Every structure is written in structure tokens, then in C-alpha cells.
Amino acid sequence: MEEATKKIEKISLIALFTMCVVGGCLFGYVTAQIKNFSGIENLRRFQPNIPTRLYDVNGELIGELFLEKRNLVSYDELPQVLINAFIATEDKNFYSHFGLDPLAIIRAFFKNLFAGKISQGGSTITQQLAKRLFTSGERTIWRKILEAILALQIEKRFTKDEILEMYFNQIFLGRGCYGVSTAAELYFNKEVRNLGVVESAILAALPSAPGRHSPLMNTRRAMQVNRHILDRMVNAGFLNKENSDKLYSEFWPQFVDSMQTEYPTRTVFTRNDDKAPYFTDYVRQVLLARFGKDVVYNEGLSVYTTLDLRKQMIAEKYLVEGVKQQDEISSRANRYYLSAVDTSLFGAYSMLRQVFNLPGVIIKNDFDTRVKKAVVDDVLDTIDALSLLVDARPANYTLERFREAITGISTTLQVQGAMIAIEPKTGYISVMVGGSEFSVNNQYNRALQARRQPGSAFKPFVYGTGIEAGLITAATALPDVPIVDIESSGETWSPENYEGEYSGMVQIRKALAKSINIISIRIYDLVGPDRIANYAGRMLKVPETSFTPTPTLALGSTEVTPFELATGYAIYANRGRDVIPYAIRYVIDRDGNELANIEEEVGNIIAAKERAGTIQVISEEVAYIMTSLMQGVIDYGTPQWAIRTVARFTKPCAGKTGTTSNWSDAWFCGYTPDIVAVVWLGYDRQFMSLGKNQAAASTAAPIWGHFMREIYNGMPDPVFPSPPKGVYFSGGEVFLNGTHPSGAVGDQYKMKTVIERYMEKQGLTDQQ
């Protein structure tokens, strides 16, 4: 007996020791964790994650960047019906407990025990706040104990109203919404202060199951839960039964009816009212590279940009209209021109078949693809919305599979466009449109990323090279006659003019205005590829090695982006002075501290170039003469009718069209001293054609003209600078000092013969 007693005492001591160790560890863990949460002491200054906001040059909001969408509200902005709904649903004893509700915990324990699963929680609003602010939310006993202790700490330091304010700004309510203000806007298009009883009760159901109780995706379930919460509000004394039934029966029919015109799967990300999404995405990338993800998405930066929303809206209007019109034209044309495939590919294939045993090719329209495109563009979203409203899950699954199968078809078979505008005097990027529409399947920013052949839009850099080198003048006459070029391989190449006609001796001014290809090749012969590559590299700010040293360089065969072309034309517009395009002026944090001033940084670079004497990329005289030549392009060249008559833009301006072979790309690059704008149209697939004779003068130039006419409405007329001292006038033409009015300088003016071209490429001398 004595021995048994000793054994029991020993076991009791071991158990007591174990309990002390476990209790000590638990106490130590919790104590250590609480010490790590010094944020409780500073909670009065707690700053939740808020979006970064982008503003245009006039201070107007462009859009927001966020991972958690949250708009902060004060306690005074919270309607009492919203507070009542959440208290009745989440924590009916909120005003009487001390952070924990023992009765609620016991009640939840037994309910979960009988249910055999966790069907109800006993957390108070204060515990939920602690969980949201300070813990990871993992379902472990350690975390629950920690949340309870933190809740006690919060209740000790803050009033009930302060706790509610923090809670309503932190709670997750589904579909990317953090806080009741964002949720009110997403679900009901209302400010939180204007929420009604039923709307408040709908939001109160979301913390426990944001997806299952969503009024957008699970409307029937949301209606059932809403009825239950309204009853709880009645039981809590916040509402009488008669009024509750009346409000419920009035609200839901109207809400369900409004859903027919809404997209059921929308979130705060799809509803983000971004007024310039391509520009916003570009700014986002710049900010991430400079400040990092956490600061950009969470710290509520205010980013003041160079964009002008008024000009942006005008650009989008006319570009989208132009793209839509061109898409209709090109679709009809390509229906008869082998579904937009370059016919030269089939010609080459036919020649190969004569040499090799290759199968024949049957060319036909891709009817199946076109039907799929029509479904995507015209009916898919409507069918999708209807199937969600009637809870047709098999149809939803089938539609999702169809979406996956046809991803990319719509944008591939649509004409696309891009437009970018730069202020030459400041470098401000004032307009950026990267495509016809920014969407999940169309986020490719063609204004910055699309590398395409510029065609004749590159010729001003070829002509500029000749002017700078003193080898041609605006009055130089060159022969517009057929050229046959012998490549080093022995193959011949014979370029043609756009209309297939030749004009004999043509002056440079007329040649550029009429975009005569042969004259560009003649200038290439005079100046050589190295000079052109150097000149164009300086102007477009790209490596000289980007340019292939063949005669096709003179016709714009080197691929460039709209942004690069806009930079080159901006330097012309800025009297040859350097232009550094940028999108962000300055950035300030949520406390008003300046984090970066890019406008000042760019200004310092320009000032340093001024002091060093390197500010001129090309001379002011060359820029003046080239601007004069490009003014002639507008006044009596290929785009005259489109700009002066169709668009009715009659103010002084300069520019150049560009159309590539097979009409795959259409460009217009134009400027005044105030703004440079570049327009591009084409398919993303480079082998696809806009259609026979769809030249830039009739496709891209009208868009530019309409844009310029409207932005100058209310602005002073553009005034081009006076002639610099280094030029003189003779016979109505302008010349560089030191050049002769009759043409190029001395013996350097000489056309290469076919034999001379061949010998040069072979590296042969006359003796050889």
C-alpha cells in the first residue's frame, strides 16, 4: 500500500512538473509573441495598406495600383445600420464584453461538438481585428490563445468606436475588397455612408464566407443568408419585423434586375477605373524597379505623372474609331486576298515546287477561325452572364473550355493600333495608347514594345543625314529613274516607287513630299549606310548596330517602336536639341514626403548637357531645314488631303507618312513645336496585310489630324522657330551656310552605276 502511494505521488509530481513545463513554455511563447507585437503600442498611428494613386499633369486621378483595395473611412462616416448589422451578425455582445465573449465561446464549442465539425466561431470583433492585424490566421491552438491575449490588449488601449473603425477598414469582404468602403463601391456602387439596411446586412454576411455569400456570384444563397441576418437584427432590437420584411421584398427584385447589365465575375481589379491602362502599366513597371513591390502596392504613394488626360481621351477616341474602321476595311479586303496572308509567300512556294517535290497548297478562307472570332467579339460575354444568373454550371464549364481554346484568336485577327505623344520642350509623355482596348487578352503595349518596319516614316533620318553631311540640299535634284542593284551574291535588286511611276530629275523637297523611294536610295548611295546608322542612332536613341547596312535601310526596313520614332521626331521639333522622354514627374509618400523627383533629375541632365555643349543631337540648322521639308510633306505631299481636308487641321505642322510593303504597317509621325504624335496601325502578326492600297495617308494620317485639331481647340496656334543664323535663303529655298543653291558640294555629287555598286560590295578596285 505504501509503495503504491509513493508511486502515485511520483506520477503526480511528474504530471505536475510536465504541466509546469508546458505552462511555462506556453507562457513564454505567448509573452515572446506579445513582445514582438509592439504595433499594439503604436496602433493609434497604424497605417493600413492603401493603394498608390497616379495623377495626370493637371492633378486629375488616372488610376490606382494595389494588391489589397482599401479606401479608408472614419467612424463618423459609418452608418449606424452598418454597425448594427455587423454587431448582430458577428458579435452581439460587442459593447459589453472585454475583448473575449466566454458565453459565445462555450456556445460555439458545443454547437461544433454536436455538428461534428467547425460550423460556428466564437471570436469577437476585437479578436477578428487582432487576427487580421497581427497573426497569420492559422487555425492552431497557439494562434487562438495569442489572438485572445492580443484582443485583451487592444480592448485595454482603445475605445469601442476606435476598434470598430479599425475593424471596418481592415475586414476582408471578398473579390479583392478590404474594408467596407471598397465593398460598398464594388457591390452597390455607393459610398459607405449611403448604405441601407439590406445592403449593410449583405456585407455583414461576407466575413464568414466571402465567396459563398457573394450577392454577385451566389445570388440565391446571398438572399437566404440576408433574410437570416435581418432576422438577427430584429432579435437584437435594431429593426422591427414589419420594416425588415418590407425592405427585403423591395430591395432584392431591383438588385437582381440590375445584375443583368453587370458582369457577375467582376472584382475590384476588373472595376478599377483606370483612365489610361497602358500608361498606368508602364508607370507601374518604372515604380517597381525603383521602389519595390511592397512600397508600390501598400504604402499609398501619390505619383504625379506627365500624362495629360484630356489629350489621352482624345487620342483614344480617334485611335479606337480609326482601328475599328480599318478593321472593317481590312477584313473585307483580306477575305479576298487569301485571309491576310502575304501572297509573296505562296509565289515563293510555287517556285520551290518547280525544283523540289513538294505538295500543292489549297488556299482558302479560315471560316472556322472567323466564326470563333465572331462568337468571342459579339456573343460570348452575354451568354456567359446569362448562364451565371441562372446557375447553369455545365454551361459555365463549357464556356470556360471554349475561352481557353480560342484565347488570342480575337486580337490576332483584329487590326490593332498605337499612339504616343511627347512634348518636345519638356520630354513629357503626354499620351500613350498601346492598343485598341486594354483587356486580359490585349495587354501588349504596342506604343513601347511593337518593333515594326517604319517604311517611309524613316526617310526624314535618311534625308537628314544627307543635309548634315552637306551632300544634298533642299534644292538638290536627283534622278528618279529605275535602279538595278547587284548584291555581293550576284543577285539583283530593283526597288520601285509606290505607284510604280518615275519622274526623271526631282528636287529633294518634292521627293520627300511625294515619298519617292528611288530618291531615298540615291541619298543612301551618296552618304553611305554608316552615316545613316550614326545619325538615326543618335536621333532614335538606339545602337548604330540596329541598322542593317543595305540599300533597303533607306526605305525603312529596320524595325523600330513608335516610342523610338516619336523620340527622333521630337528632337526635330525641339530644334535638334536632346529630348529625354519620361512619364513620372515626382513621387510623394502618404505623409507628403518627396521620394523622387524625376522631372528635376531630367532637368539636371539637360542642364549638364547645356554646360558641356552636347545638348544638340543635330545642329539647329539641320533641324530647321528638315522641319521645313516635312512641312512641305503636309502642305502638298501624300497626307495633305487627309490632314487638311478630312481632319480639317489647318494649323502649321510637319510630318511624314510610312507604309511598308504588302501594306502591313501604316504610320504617321507628325509634330508642332508643342507636341509630337506618332500613330501606327497594323496586325500583330506581321505577315498580315491591312489590304491592298491601304496606305498611311488614308489610314493613319486622318487619326493624327483629328487628334491635333481637337487638342489645339482652345490652345494658341503653334509657332515654329525663326531661321537660325547658320542658314540662308535663295530662290525661295533654305540652305545650310557653305552649301551651294544648285545642289550638293563639288565632285561628291555622283551617282553610282550598277557596276560600281557590284564592285564596291565585292571589295574590288578599278584595276581589278
* DSSP characters over 259-312: GGGS-TT--TTTS---SSHHHHHHHHHHHHHHH-HHHHHHB--EEEES--HHHH
> What's the CATH number where 703 sits?
3.40.710.10
Element (H, E) at 146: helix 141-157
Compute the average pLDDT of residues 691-715.
94
Record the pTM: 0.71
Q: Is the pLDDT of residue 111 over 70?
A: no
Q: What CATH number is given to the structural domain containing 591?
A: 3.90.1310.20
Q: Do 435 and 446 form a contact (C-beta atoms < 8 A)?
A: yes
Model confidence at 129, pLDDT cuts 50, 70, 90, reads: confident
- What CA–CA distance (Å, rounded) separates 162 from 657? 64
In this predicted structure, the answer to whether residue 282 has a pLDDT above a threshold of 90 is: yes
CA 401 to chain centre: 27
Residue 19 has pLDDT above 80, yes or no: no
Please answer whether residues 122 and 103 qualify as being in contact, where contact means their C-beta atoms are separated by less than 8 angstroms: no
Q: Which of 243, 262, 296, 351 minimizes the C-alpha distance to 596? A: 296
Q: Which residue among 615, 631, 661 closes a domain?
A: 615
Is 61 part of any domain?
Answer: yes
The reply to whether 248 falls in a domain is yes
Residue 535's domain comprises 455-557+725-761
Tally of structural domains, the chain: 4
Phi, psi of 476 (to 5 degrees): -60, 135
Instruction: Write the single-letter amino acid at 91.
Output: D
Task: Tell me, yes or no, whether 147 and 99 share the same domain.
Answer: yes
Q: Is 477 helix (H, G, I), strand (E, B) or coil?
A: strand
pLDDT band (50, 70, 90) for residue 496: confident
What cell was used for 450? 511593337
Q: Percent of the chain having pLDDT more than 70?
A: 72
452 bridge partner residues: 560
Decide if pLDDT at 674 tops 60. yes
- The answer to the question of residue 525 being in a domain is yes
Question: CA torsion sign, 557 to 561 to 565 to 567?
Answer: negative
Contact 564, 556 (CB under 8 A): no
- Position 672 confidence tier, pLDDT thresholds 50, 70, 90: very high
Residue 344 lies in a domain: no
Q: Are both 548 and 538 inside the same structural domain?
A: yes
Residue 553 grid cell: 535601310
Stretch 529-543: mean pLDDT: 97
- Torsion angle in degrees (nearest 10) through CA of 261, 266, 269, 273: 10
The answer to which of 153-162, 221-230, 654-663 has the lowest mean pLDDT is: 153-162
Q: d(Cα 227, Cα 234) in Å, to the nearest integer?
A: 11
Is 8 among the domain residues? Answer: no
User: Is residue 379, in this structure, part of any structural domain at all?
Assistant: no
Least confident stretch, 84-98, 124-138, 150-164:
124-138
pLDDT at 291: 95
Evaluate whether 473 touches 733 at the Cβ level (below 8 Å). Answer: yes
pLDDT band for 367, please (50, 70, 90 cuts): very low
Looking up residue 124, the CATH number of its domain turns out to be 1.10.3810.10
Do 442 and 537 belong together in one domain? no
Most trustworthy range by pLDDT among 142-156, 633-647, 686-700:
633-647
DSSP per-residue string spanning 478-498: EEE----EE-TTS-EE----T
Q: Are 167 and 128 in contact (CB under 8 A)?
A: yes
As a whole number, mean pLDDT of residues 646-673 equals: 95
Do 473 and 438 touch, CB atoms closer than 8 A?
no
What is the length of the chain? 768
* Identity of the highest mean pLDDT range in 135-144, 381-390, 709-718: 709-718
Distance CA 469, CA 478 (A): 16
Q: Is there a single domain that holds both residue 474 and residue 571?
A: no
Closest of 381, 389, 387, 378 to residue 260, by C-alpha:
389
Task: Assess whether 697 and 741 both reside in one domain.
Answer: no
Location of C-alpha cell 501606327: 680
Q: Does pLDDT of 165 surpass 70?
A: yes
- Mean pLDDT: which of 187-191, 488-492, 631-635 is highest? 631-635
As a whole number of angstroms, the distance between CA 588 and CA 595 comes to 5
Decide if 521 is inside a domain.
Answer: yes
Q: Do 552 and 567 fall within a single domain?
A: no
| Residue 715 CB burial class (10 angstroms; 0-12, 13-18, ≥19) | exposed
**pLDDT category of residue 117 using cuts at 50, 70 and 90:** very low
221, 261: one domain: yes
Identify whether residues 737 and 604 lie together within a single domain.
no
Sign of CA dihedral 642, 645, 651, 652: positive
- pLDDT by residue (tens digit) across 443-486? 789 999 999 999 999 999 999 999 999 999 999 999 988 877 66
The percentage of the chain sitting over the pLDDT mark of 90, rounded to a whole number, equals 52
Closest Cα to residue 503, out of 524, 483, 480?
480
| Residue 610, CB-side half-sphere exposure with 13 Å CA sphere | 7
Sign of CA dihedral 400, 406, 408, 409: negative
Q: Tell me if residue 212 falls in helix, strand or coil.
A: coil
Any domain includes 343: no
H helices within 435-580, ranges in order?
446-449, 459-469, 508-513, 517-527, 529-540, 562-573
Q: Which pLDDT score, from 0 to 100, does residue 119 have?
A: 47
* Top-confidence residue, 238 or 8: 238
Same domain, 705 and 750: no
- CA–CA separation, 511 vs 482, rounded Å? 15
Looking at residues 663-690, what average pLDDT do you find? 94
- Which has the closest alpha carbon to 553: 669, 451, 461? 461
- Band (pLDDT 50/70/90 cuts) for residue 35 is very low
On whether both 545 and 676 belong to a single domain, the answer is no
In whole angstroms, what separates CA 406 from the centre of its chain?
23
Q: How confident is the model at residue 343 (pLDDT cuts 50, 70, 90)?
A: very low
Separation CA 112–CA 120 (nearest Å): 6
The CA distance from 617 to 579, in Å, is 9
CA Rg value for the chain: 35
CA gap 346, 445 in Å, rounded: 31
Residues 493 and 598 in one domain: no
Tell me: do 327 and 443 sit in the same domain.
yes
**406-415, 470-479, 634-643: lowest mean pLDDT where?**
406-415
DSSP characters for 712-752?
TTTSPPP-PPPPPTTEEEETTEEEETTS-TTSS-GGG--PP
pLDDT at 36: 47
Between CA 460 and CA 576 the distance in angstroms is 13
- In this prediction, residues 346-375 reach a mean pLDDT of 50
287, 52 Cβ separation under 8 angstroms: yes
| Cα pseudo-dihedral 708, 709, 714, 720, rounded to 10 | 60
Average pLDDT of the residues of the chain: 81
φ/ψ of 328, rounded to 5, equals: -65, -45
